[in-house]
Structure 1
Amino acid sequence: MATTGIPFNVTQGSKTKGGIGESTLRPDGTLKVTGEFAYSSDMWHEDMLWGQILRSPVAHAEIVSIDIGEALATPGVYAVLTHDDLPTDVKKYGLEFKDTPVLAHGKVRHHGEPVALVAADHPETARRAAAKIKVDYRELPVITDEASATAPGAILVHEGRDDHHAGHVPHQNIVHRQPIVRGDADKAALRADHIVTGDYYFGMQDQAFLGPESGLAVPSEDGGVDLYVATQWLHSDLGQIAPVLGLPEDKVRMTLAGVGGAFGGREDLSMQIHACLLALRTGKPVKIVYNRFESFFGHVHRHPAKLHYEHGVTKDGKITHMKCRIVLDGGAYASASPAVVGNASSLSVGPYVIDDVDIEAIALYSNNPPCGAMRGFGAVQACFAYEAQMDKLADVIGMDRVEFRQLNAMEQGTIMPTGQPVDSPAPVAELLRRVKAMPLPMERQWESSEGSDVRQLPGGLSNTTHGEGVVRGIGYAVGIKNVGFSEGFDDYSTAKVRMEVVGGEAVATVHTAMAEVGQGGITVHAQIARTELGVAQVTIHPADTQVGSAGSTSASRQTYVTGGAVKNACELVREKVLEIGRRKMGTYHPAWATAELLLEGGKVVTDGGEVLADLADVLEGEVVELEEEWRHRPTEAFDLRTGQGNGHVQYSFAAHRAVVEVDTELGLVKVIELACAQDVGKALNPLSVVGQIQGGTLQGMGIAVMEEIVVDPKTAKVRNPSFTDYLLPTILDTPTIPVDVLELADEHAPYGLRGIGEAPTLSSTPAVLAAIRNATGLQLDRTPVRPEHLTGTASA
């Protein structure tokens, strides 16, 4: 790991083992590897019922009638619920505004929409009963793209919209529109020696977490319900669930169950309300577990996008202007589409200095599957397009592609297209230099001295090629991603920290509502507590709603925001402990009053290293517990006319170099290497940092060469809702991913850290596409690249 930049004191001299900056192991790691970890789907309760959801087989239709009689008469069935059985007048929910029905009423708007619920004493009984529910549908025309959504007389996906975006969109089938105008792009275009345009298509990607949606709702004696669920945002779920149930929030108690991956797909509700409704109706615990088919319909996906870009460039390599139009398909319900539009528009220029821009981004309502949060969140789609443009611009003036990017790279102090100055390190040119300088993998690995290895060939173990027509290609890309929630959202987190003596040893307990979804947050929280409190033993309390909100585990924000809250609470607890020490023991040593005191290794020490007392002695008979919030600096909404505004908290940057080998006759691609250089501000846990970068890199590779939810353009039905037909990278597809970590502290962030989880997902995709273009000479303007795109057999 390479480390350069501003020295940053993060430990106040503490040398407690397992603190900030060390590669401590995850407490859940061994359990997950050995199969002993309890995921939400493993939960069990005595006398438990099983819930099942009946989903629409069509994408757009009026519901003429629903007959539940045969289902309700099935032996073992305890309840069948439809929209008419909902207990309150609140029958919709949603992340930004409530447009999603708990159960369909009047009509269905997408393939797989929930229509009815069943609770039975066995999961197969519940499935058979759900299949007996008779629903009479009258199919309607489907809205599947911008042309059908905005055509004169187009059917409205949502009639009578009253959300806060409805008043500023040009058509009611547009969820949100965000223009960004800065300078004069038309006038600047006159200075260009070359104009380069491109049209790009980005496919719909699934989060494809390995643990399907699941949860257990248990009715309680006080009339409330306890919900154990895999989610990304406990308090957001709570705020949407309680009104539908007609319960105050303190009677809907939520606890995080084991999460098997998320990547944005668990930010929206799935089975939470349904399980609670069935539990309250039957008076029994109800468990719902989706199978893989149901999971494809039970959560949002990454927005597919069509992007048009125009850039101008002078003969000496300076970009004169940029125009772009980004159309995101949000599907049937809004979810996080407005925020995705904000990210796509505000980050559409990429990490480059372009003073004159004219940008428009919109999200559509359609009858396609709902889309929302996924790792990268709007910036991924834009990066794919603008990085393809960078290669075209470099080529048209005959400049090296990396040097061209470096020439136009932003840096600290650059003004974003929104008018916001970048006030922390932005080492774009340096990241490109580093990734280009990394050693290249050997040529024709399958012919190495160690003997022939078909796994190194395109096609791998399928042994479809022997290397005769294999060509190597190299490509580069760099991206910019915002960190944290933006555009005026009150983004904060809460942490409760407790110190006491247990078994003669001072121990700390950290309690937050942060959803641990595999990112390693619980590991970092323990490291922060060890660093700030000088204790070896740290217990992480299960995440639940009995503590203040930690916000969502998304937007690369948890280490920044909840880590900041834990740090803040620990600092205040430390001061309280030292107050107790001064009261109890200060009379024995003057240093208690005069020296800078630290907690280190279970002891109170002076800044000179002199031990004053054991922490256990100081805390004997005492319990110190404080709950504190932490907020980052405020942001503001983008102007709806010009797009100007200080909308983002922080930016993160990553650069990739992809090395691919392509069999041009068979259309097979083997990604050999995806080298990455990324600035992380401060690596709180270097091992976890590298893991996050490698994971994000592979997810970006997936959308480049294999992952796409295919939706029939005539019926809006999903064609491939299974891992048989929706292809994911496996370990056999995983390239070598060397990582060069740069640490340039952001003075505004706790410990100087920078959110890291999403940035590598941006640049890995266009780097792979650039490498394939380099190998084949083809333009390749869509993701994912399929064999037919490389062999010229793709249909129009």
Structure 2
Amino acid sequence: MAGATRTPTNLTQGGKTDAGIGASTLRPDGTLKVTGEFAYSSDMWHEDMLWGFTLRSTEAHAEIVSIDTAEALATSGVYAVLTYDDLPTEVKNYGLEIQDTPVLAHGKVRHHGEPVALVAADHPETARRAAAKIKIEYKQLPLVTDEASALAEGAPLIHEGRDDHHIGHVPHPNIVHRQPIVRGDVTEAAKKADVIVSGEYVFGMQDQAFLGPESGLAVPGEDGGVDLYVATQWLHSDLRQIAPVLGLPEEKVRMTLSGVGGAFGGREDLSMQVHACLLALRTSKPVKIVYNRFESFFGHVHRHPAKLWYEHGATKDGKLTHLKCRIVLDGGAYASASPAVVGNASSLAAGPYIVDDVEIEAIALYSNNPPCGAMRGFGAVQACFAYEAQMDKLAAKLGMDPVAFRQLNAMEQGTLMPTGQEVDSPAPVAELLRRIKAMPLPPEQQWLAAGEGADVRALPGGLSNTTHGEGVVRGVGYAVGIKNVGFSEGFDDYSTARVRLEVIAGEAVATVHTAMAEVGQGGVTVHAQIARTELGVQQVTIHPADTQVGSAGSTSASRQTYMTGGAVKNTCEAVREKALELGRRKFGTYHPAWATAELLLESGKVVTDGGEVLADLVDVLETEAIDLELEFRHRPTEAFDLTTGQGFGHVQYSFAAHRAVVEVDTELGLVKVIELACAQDVGKALNPLSVVGQIQGGTTQGLGVAVMEEIIVDPKTAKVRNPSFTDYLIPTILDTPTIPVDVLELADEHAPYGLRGIGEAPTLSSTPAVLAAIRNATGLELNKTPVRPEHLTGT
């Protein structure tokens, strides 16, 4: 990266430490991030770079009548203006699964904020001013904004002439994907029910709200290719989509991960990547694009808003008899990850409960609303909100304790999912609920004892100083959820790792090279911990992630520790065996341990399993380094049947339970979440400190969607009304409650070290736990997220 003054190499050093798996090692990038020295993608610089800007549509559904770029091109300092007609190849669309997303809009725009034109200039403000001079004439088209308008007779088609592989099994072209799941006989089972409850639930559109907006730097290469430094979640997926649009072979699109300021699913899809590359190749100059917060709201997908209808039955002694449900997810203008979200929502719609007779349907719609795709826990989050509300309704109608009712119906190892798949690893649902209920409750309304000296931060409304405790009541609520881990439904999920073992300055050291996107989840500690454990060396260096090594898959689906961690483990094991083979050649078999005992590597020594030193590893490696690259795959899954939904669809399941304690000012409609306690089975805590951090982070995101987070889309115009952190609220430290965590470790024999993906499960159950606590405090039904003051006061 010649000429660059800041490079994305802050994560290279794993550090020298004795800490292997099971130790709470500190992040090597932690101090840099806290002190502001960490180089995020937005910090990159090249001495002769240009700045790119994306002009976006001001309409949600409109024909593009004309585009006039002449005035923009004539602006001093502007090097290029590109529209659809300037794209270099016949490949003009991209997409994670369905290639339906245009690089730049052609013929019409399908959502508010869709990219229409690109500008490259010598200053970011010049690029913005030039883009404002582009004249676009739109002719508005009828809007599709909900299920009724999407499926009505004569409804406008969002994508005319669809030919993707889902079109054959959906009843309407405005349905992206449909997945039914049918098992048993619901009609007969319902006759056994002594109580039946139903409910309609609405889940709002949530933004990933990562703090580092989309950004990257594209540098044209001397070979006609391009080097792209970018914050993303999956380098090789980006590469697969970018190269055809540029008309380049993949080996000429070289990608390196730069500092990522959060992701949560919002960086799985392309944003500025291909735009920066197009401008760099057109101008023959490096081009940097950095979104501001307003642009970021339009530059990535969001969590699917959903409408869910549920019916459950139960016997008088509390056993579930049946489940019927229908889940409608709004995918917006483009498919993104909608098919996978549908698969998750449908297959996990029953929750972590035993229910033999089910009729489930989940669909995702095309509409003119903002595109939606991956976000932490996708599909399972929306379903959990609904089925946990149903559990509380059933318990109340039966006069049962809500925790005891859940425990009575809790799945366990050996339970069959509604898809017919056996849960063949620990499923400690009842135990998690027991643990969460057994945790001490926080002291009752601490502000009462303080009287006039009460700290208003402890009250609903906080520093707004709106109440001093009048009309404040406390509520407690419980919830538990189930989330799949890894890619599902027959996807070839694999990850790659390269490990090099060599001698440097008289010391055996290891280098771990993967394409894993470090987005804050802590892979930079775990990979070094695995290498230390398997190779016995002290010094481990983590190579920057790039596409010069095989794919690591996406940093999503709670899969990276399982998959790329598994790849590092397998490769280290192969490197270790190779080192021992070299030792046998060098030292012969004069010591019986070479032939009779298990040989290990530890602290630069070749040792037996009894700890007896046989030879220095340094001597073995001083003339020959070992460098291996291997892939790791989990056991295969299979697609769900498109009629019955049966199939071995998921490789692993994770479970978390929450207890929420809230205080609600019933007169003003203000909510203060006092505590969100969590119990979660993690299989094996490879880094306990990071495990707790992941659980607390996921819990806080679930809190956000419960009481404050929602992208508001005007139903009349399909335009986003709150694309800023002034109007789109996320939890701050003042909103975040105490989050005690109880970590359970029940090994999954199918997974490396017995571990279980953990990052998403706490996002599921924290939201319904908060809603349950608010219902407990107020007696209101509250079937929509987020809960707003007007929902509590009726105003």
Report the TM range for the smaller structure's normalisation.
Answer: over 0.9
Is the 1:494–1:547 Cα contact (8 Å) retained in structure 2?
Answer: yes
SS of the counterpart of 2:496?
Answer: strand
SS of the counterpart of 1:192?
Answer: coil
Q: Which residue of 1 aligns with 2:714?
A: 712
Q: Shift in Å at residue 588 of structure 1?
A: 5.6
Q: Which residue of 1 aligns with 2:621?
A: 619
Q: Matches of 1:601 and 1:773 in 2, distance apart? A: 57
Cα deviation 1:415-460 (Å, max 9, x = unaligned): 0000000000000000000000000000112234696211110111
Is the 2:641–2:647 Cα contact (8 Å) retained in structure 1?
Answer: yes
Q: Which residue of 1 aligns with 2:267?
A: 266
Q: Which residue of 2 aligns with 1:4?
A: none
Q: Which residue of 2 aligns with 1:667?
A: 669
Q: Which residue of 1 aligns with 2:43?
A: 42
Cα deviation 1:53-93 (Å, max 9, x = unaligned): 00001100000000000000000000000000000000000
TM-score with structure 2 setting the length: 0.97
- Greater Cα offset, 550-559 or 585-594: 585-594
Q: Which residue of 1 aligns with 2:595?
A: 593
The count of residues paired between Structure 1 and Structure 2 equals 779
Given residue 190 of structure 1, which amino acid in structure 2 is its aligned partner?
K
Q: Shift in Å at residue 580 of structure 1?
A: 1.1
Q: How does 1:327-476 map to 2 (within 5 A)?
A: 327-448=328-449, 452-476=454-478
Q: Matches of 2:655 and 2:528 in 1, distance apart? A: 27
Q: How does 1:501-512 map to 2 (within 5 A)?
A: 501-512=503-514
Question: What is the aligned-residue RMSD (CA, Å)?
Answer: 1.0
Q: Matches of 1:594 and 1:504 in 2, distance apart? A: 29
Cα deviation 1:635-669 (Å, max 9, x = unaligned): 00000000000000000000000000000000000
Q: Matches of 1:697 and 1:626 in 2, distance apart? A: 39
Q: Which residue of 2 aligns with 1:3?
A: none
Q: Which residue of 1 aligns with 2:9?
A: none
Cα deviation 1:354-413 (Å, max 9, x = unaligned): 000000000000000000000001000000000000000000010000000000000000
Q: Matches of 1:294 and 1:588 in 2, distance apart? A: 69
Given residue 509 of structure 2, which amino acid in structure 1 is its aligned partner?
V
SS of the counterpart of 1:216?
Answer: strand
Is the 2:575–2:628 Cα contact (8 Å) retained in structure 1?
Answer: yes
Given residue 539 of structure 1, which amino acid in structure 2 is its aligned partner?
T
Given residue 34 of structure 1, which amino acid in structure 2 is its aligned partner?
T
Q: Matches of 2:674 and 2:419 in 1, distance apart? A: 38
Q: Shift in Å at residue 604 of structure 1?
A: 1.6
Q: Which residue of 1 aligns with 2:702?
A: 700
Cα deviation 1:199-244 (Å, max 9, x = unaligned): 0000000000000000000000000000000000000000000000
Q: Matches of 1:409 and 1:280 in 2, distance apart? A: 57
Cα deviation 1:656-688 (Å, max 9, x = unaligned): 000000000000000000000000000000000
Q: State which of 647, 654, 657 in structure 1 corresponds to 2:656.
A: 654
Q: How does 1:683-694 map to 2 (within 5 A)?
A: 683-694=685-696
Q: Which residue of 1 aligns with 2:164?
A: 163
SS of the counterpart of 1:344?
Answer: helix
Q: Shift in Å at residue 587 of structure 1?
A: 5.2
Given residue 435 of structure 2, which amino acid in structure 1 is its aligned partner?
R
Q: Which residue of 2 aligns with 1:547?
A: 549
Q: Which residue of 1 aligns with 2:122?
A: 121
SS of the counterpart of 1:195?
Answer: strand
- Greater Cα offset, 361-370 or 459-468: 459-468
SS of the counterpart of 1:782?
Answer: coil
Q: Shift in Å at residue 601 of structure 1?
A: 2.2
Cα deviation 1:106-135 (Å, max 9, x = unaligned): 000000000000000000000000000000
Q: Shift in Å at residue 592 of structure 1?
A: 2.6
Q: Matches of 2:732 and 2:621 in 1, distance apart? A: 51
Given residue 553 of structure 2, which amino acid in structure 1 is its aligned partner?
G
Q: Which residue of 1 aligns with 2:518?
A: 516
Q: Matches of 1:341 and 1:449 in 2, distance apart? A: 50
Gaps of 5+ in 1: 1-14
Q: Matches of 2:301 and 2:108 in 1, distance apart? A: 19
SS of the counterpart of 2:437?
Answer: helix
Q: State which of 604, 610, 615 in structure 2 corresponds to 1:608.
A: 610
Q: How does 1:758-773 map to 2 (within 5 A)?
A: 758-773=760-775
Is the 1:661–1:671 Cα contact (8 Å) retained in structure 2?
Answer: yes
Q: Which residue of 1 aligns with 2:227?
A: 226
Q: Shift in Å at residue 167 of structure 1?
A: 1.0
Given residue 771 of structure 2, which amino acid in structure 1 is its aligned partner?
L
- Greater Cα offset, 44-53 or 581-590: 581-590
Given residue 160 of structure 1, which amino acid in structure 2 is its aligned partner?
G
- Greater Cα offset, 458-467 or 763-772: 458-467
1:241 aligns with 2:242: yes
Is the 2:538–2:603 Cα contact (8 Å) retained in structure 1?
Answer: yes
Q: Matches of 1:592 and 1:347 in 2, distance apart? A: 51
Is the 2:589–2:595 Cα contact (8 Å) retained in structure 1?
Answer: no
Q: Shift in Å at residue 602 of structure 1?
A: 2.3
Given residue 752 of structure 1, which amino acid in structure 2 is its aligned partner?
G
1:301 aligns with 2:335: no
Cα deviation 1:260-286 (Å, max 9, x = unaligned): 000000000000000000000000000
Q: Shift in Å at residue 468 of structure 1?
A: 1.6
Q: Matches of 2:383 and 2:583 in 1, distance apart? A: 55
Given residue 697 of structure 2, which amino acid in structure 1 is its aligned partner?
G
Q: Which residue of 2 aligns with 1:135?
A: 136
Q: Matches of 2:603 and 2:17 in 1, distance apart? A: 5
Q: Percent identity?
A: 87
SS of the counterpart of 1:138?
Answer: strand
SS of the counterpart of 2:424?
Answer: coil
Q: Which residue of 2 aligns with 1:92?
A: 93
Is the 1:586–1:593 Cα contact (8 Å) retained in structure 2?
Answer: no
SS of the counterpart of 1:636?
Answer: coil
Cα deviation 1:545-597 (Å, max 9, x = unaligned): 00000000000000000000000000000000111111112356332333211
Q: Matches of 1:768 and 1:135 in 2, distance apart? A: 46
Q: Which residue of 2 aligns with 1:7?
A: none
TM-score with structure 1 setting the length: 0.97
Q: Which residue of 2 aligns with 1:529?
A: 531
Given residue 360 of structure 2, which amino acid in structure 1 is its aligned partner?
I
Q: Shift in Å at residue 522 of structure 1?
A: 1.2
Q: Which residue of 2 aligns with 1:60?
A: 61
Q: Which residue of 1 aligns with 2:777?
A: 775
Q: Matches of 1:708 and 1:174 in 2, distance apart? A: 23
Q: Which residue of 2 aligns with 1:103?
A: 104
Given residue 677 of structure 1, which amino acid in structure 2 is its aligned partner?
A
Cα deviation 1:113-171 (Å, max 9, x = unaligned): 00000000000000000000000000111100000000000000000000000111011
